[in-house]
């Protein structure tokens, strides 16, 4: 009975050691994933590397989003400018048509 209890205790201790090893491995993987997202303190900081390698995926996404927003704003500004130019062109066409109608009409030449 005592031998059996010692064996059970040994199995439980072995199981606890296994669980502790699994926990340590899981914590390492979690830390690796978090550093991928937020950047690692020992990540290379060479400016030629993409920001997601230097500062993490979150910072990379934020920078890309800022660039995208700037491009959207520039595109919107250009679109509005184009609409103004187009409207000005239409106004000029109407003005030329109006002035053309005000010109004296020529009589057809008689032969």
Can you read off the two tokens belonging to residue 85? 């130019």
pLDDT category at 87 given cuts 50, 70, 90 is: very high
At a CB cut-off of 8 Å and minimum separation 6, what does 73 contact?
none
For 76, the 3-state DSSP assignment is helix
pLDDT (mean) for 74-83: 99
pLDDT (mean) for 74-86: 99
Q: What is the pLDDT of residues 48-78, one digit of tens each?
A: 888 888 889 999 999 999 999 999 999 999 9
The answer, as to whether pTM is greater than 0.75, is no
């Amino acid at each position: 009975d005592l031998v059996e209890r010692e064996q059970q205790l040994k199995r439980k201790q072995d199981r606890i050691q296994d669980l502790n090893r699994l926990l340590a491995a899981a914590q390492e993987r979690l830390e690796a994933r978090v550093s991928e997202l937020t950047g690692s303190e020992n990540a290379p900081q060479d400016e030629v590397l993409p920001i997601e390698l230097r500062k993490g995926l979150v910072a990379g996404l934020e920078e890309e989003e800022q660039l995208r927003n700037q491009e959207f704003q520039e595109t919107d500004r250009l679109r509005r400018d184009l609409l103004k130019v187009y409207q000005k062109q239409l106004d000029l066409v109407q003005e030329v048509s109006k002035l053309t109608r005000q010109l004296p009409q020529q009589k057809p030449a008689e032969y």
